[in-house]
Amino acid sequence: MQREDGATFIGARSGATDGRLSGIPSRIARFTVERAIGSGSFGDVHLAVEDGPLARRVALKVVRPNARGAALDAALREARMLARLDHPSIARVIDAGATGDGRAFIALEYIDGRTFSAWCSDSEPSVASRLEVLEDVAAAIAYAHDRGTIHRDLKPANIMVREGGGARASGVVLDFGVAALVDDSDDRDAASTLEATISARRAGTLETMAPEQFILGASPSVRADLYSLGVLLHWSVAGRPPFARTSPSDILGFAQRVQGEALRAIRSQDLAAGVELPSAQLRDLNAVLSRALAKDPQQRYASATEFAQELARLRRREPTDATAPGLLARSRRFVARNKVPVMSASVVIGTLFASTAVVSGFAASEREARISATTELERATLLAEALRGNLRALTGDLVALGNMPQLVGYWPNILAAYETVEGRDSIVLAQQRTFYAEQLTRSGRAPEAIEQLQEALRAANLHDHAEIAAAICLRLAFALEETGRVDEALAVMDGAIANDLPKLDPLVVTNHPWFFHGLRGRLLATLGRRDEGIAAIREAIILQDRAIGGKGSLNDSQLRGVLVSELIRADRIDEALVEGDALVADIERNKTAERSAGIRAWRERTRSDLLRLRLERASDADAPELAAELRSVAIEWRRLTGPSADKFTAINHTLGKRGYPPITEEEVLAFIENLKTEQGMAAP
């Protein structure tokens, strides 16, 4: 059975197939193949039984033979990494390997159910049931994102719905990372036009691709997954995606519409069969969709967890963070539903900030409105929940707006409101202090940021919340380093490594131990303890490679680039040359490097270091060629990373010693302008 979407596996109730095995052997690894259950653009899917007393049924996906050599190795390595995902709403990867003819296979948990698309069309479930299933999906995506895994191809046919047993219908996500398994690296790298790029990325479904994914060279991202979640929400209530192709060949026009056309609000007459929404809830839905499907990735929800929480509020008909026109409308709807007076934070922002006055004025407002709440506790609880909703929306807007100096002044009053509602020692307040500290740091107010982070760390330790404490420690150490308090920064890192990291899941991105060991190494080197610092950085490299690997990746390049720099500072030149050459070679072998300005910047920085060292040692005969190459590489490094006061200090010192003129900023700018003229390249 040919599926229009390439779903990886289909449960028993998904429809009949003809059972042909399409040339697949009857045995693959420890699995006996029984029958075909589906196929698509990715490959063929078969029902198979695992050897052993349990005779576990699996969905065996055999990828078509367009991944060979290094690409096949990378695909299998990713599949094994995905096997570590353990979440009730993620179809687990059980095994992966290669068939005798070199094709990749993945054995996945067999899900007995219907695809989300079939479930919605056949059963016509309530809106609340649809939202509950999507909450499951968003929670699964959040879990995967925390562990560094991006789905890449969320769509209705990649969501299975389990039913029966008296439990509510629940969602299960399929095909994590499968798009990467069949993405032909050679075709992708050769793509030089938008249409070629899109065609080379057909592992992902165009209708669910985020606008930025149609840009030449774009990489998968967390925000792109969040856009796809928004498409799922739109499809679940309207029965169609927000933008559709007119034909299979409608690629460029479709991409232009996704990138340029405004999102149309869903009207009552647009709702799918079985979907009924009152006007207020429909307005809330459209506001959520507007944020989830924003053209600018930074304007979308910050995380899948936040999106899941928004779906829950939508399902319960509570105020949503995205609801237009603002907090006033949310507050008025809350008052209408609960008969409790709640002051609007966005309209009377000073009143919200002075939250003590809000609370103290509550009793008088209650009497005037003659609200029939039964107890003071109920009234206080309702007020607190309303105030929390307004605060959550306001802080979300401030974080989304980013580093705007005029907004920093709002935060002290926001923190005061949180302290009134949550308490001085609450984890929620600690997290808000962390957000405020980030804004202070970006505004050049690191000493104030340190005070906020120290208070946040105190609260996190009080609750023995190791994950939040570890994240705060990283930010605190950076801020202390920035203000020259390196000894204190090192003490903070040592404490986090000793006390917090052992309690955490090392696969969660924010907990990755190499962040901590890498920073510790740099701090040790700054304090003159260079050998200890180099050893710590080497430990960070080992930990990073053990957890996710990826020679020549951005994380790998950063750590090894810092190692090269510290080896040079320690006058361990021969080691620096060996490590630097190996790093440059690994980056050159990494085909994704050319799409990452960050990786290219580390490559050019490392090459600059190596060429400078070799120029210092070079004979007079070799010096001119090395000096010219150093000049070219250093200017490219500057183009990628922007200006800084001391970027060329060491390079120009070496050039001067060998009798060559220094690199000037005017020379760099002339180079960039010439490059833009010749190639149409914009300077980063």
Range of the domain at 414: 325-419
First-to-last C-alpha distance (Å) of the chain: 48
Residue 616 is inside which H or E element, if any? Answer: helix 597-617
CA-closest candidate to residue 176, choices 202, 137, 206, 214:
137
Q: Indicate the range of 122-131, 317-326, 406-415 predicted with least confidence.
A: 317-326
Q: Give the range with max mean pLDDT: 77-86, 417-426, 576-585, 646-655.
A: 576-585
Is 80 exceeded by the pLDDT of residue 461? yes
The verdict on residue 611 lying in a domain is yes
Boundary residue ending a domain (315, 343, 359): 315
Q: Give a yes or no: residue 383 inside a domain.
A: yes
Please state the pTM of the whole predicted model. 0.52
* DSSP calls for 170-205: EEEE--TTHHHHH--HHHHHH--SHHHHHHHTTTS-
Cα separation, 260 vs 246, in Å, equals 17
Domain boundary among 387, 404, 419: 419
Specify the higher pLDDT residue, 215 or 526: 526
Q: What is the pLDDT of residue 96?
A: 80
Which residue did the predictor score with more confidence, 574 or 321?
A: 574
504 found inside a domain: yes
Nearest to 50 by CA among 102, 114, 7, 110: 110
Query: Residues 299-308: what's their mean pLDDT?
Result: 90
Say if residue 96 is in the same domain as residue 118: no
Among 385, 419, 453, the domain-final residue is 419
* pLDDT at site 187: 36
Collapsed DSSP state (helix, strand, coil) of residue 522: helix
Domain membership of residue 367 (yes or no) is yes
Name the DSSP letter for residue 87. Answer: -
| pLDDT over 90, % of the chain | 35
Does residue 4 lie in a domain region? no
- Asked if residue 540 belongs to a domain, the reply is yes
On whether both 468 and 595 belong to a single domain, the answer is no
Please classify residue 408 by burial: count the beta carbons closer than 10 Å to its beta carbon, then call 0-12 exposed, 13-18 middle and 19+ buried. Answer: middle
Which residues sit opposite 171 in a β-bridge?
A: 161
Are 633 and 609 spatial neighbours (Cβ–Cβ below 8 Å)? no
Of 147-151, 248-252, 676-680, the poorest mean pLDDT is in 676-680
Average pLDDT over residues 304-331: 75
Whether residue 372 is found in the same domain as residue 240: no
Q: Is the pLDDT of residue 256 over 90?
A: no
Considering the domain architecture, whether residues 518 and 436 belong to the same structural domain is answered as yes
pLDDT band of residue 209 (cuts 50, 70, 90) is: confident
Q: What's 473's domain CATH number?
A: 1.25.40.10
pLDDT exceeds cutoff 90 at 318: no
- pLDDT tens digit sequence for 474-495: 999 999 999 999 999 999 999 9
CATH number of residue 222's parent domain: 1.10.510.10
What is the share, in percent, of the chain residues with pLDDT greater than 70? 72
Q: What is the C-alpha to C-alpha distance for residues 166 and 403, in angstroms, rounded to an integer? A: 50
CATH number at residue 44: 3.30.200.20
Q: 564 versus 166: which is more confidently predicted?
A: 564
Is the domain of 514 the same as that of 532?
A: yes
Is there a single domain that holds both residue 402 and residue 443?
A: no
Verify that 297 and 330 share a domain, yes or no: no
pLDDT band for position 408 (50/70/90)? confident
Q: Is residue 571 part of a domain?
A: no
Residues 160 and 102 in one domain: no
Q: Is the pLDDT of residue 257 over 80?
A: yes
My answer on whether 353 and 415 are in the same domain is: yes
Query: In terms of domains, do 300 and 192 share one?
Result: yes
Residues 132 and 259 in one domain: yes
Total domains, the chain: 5
Residue at 582 is within a domain: no
Clarify whether residues 301 and 378 are in a common domain. Answer: no
pLDDT per position as a tens digit, 198-207 = 443 444 478 8
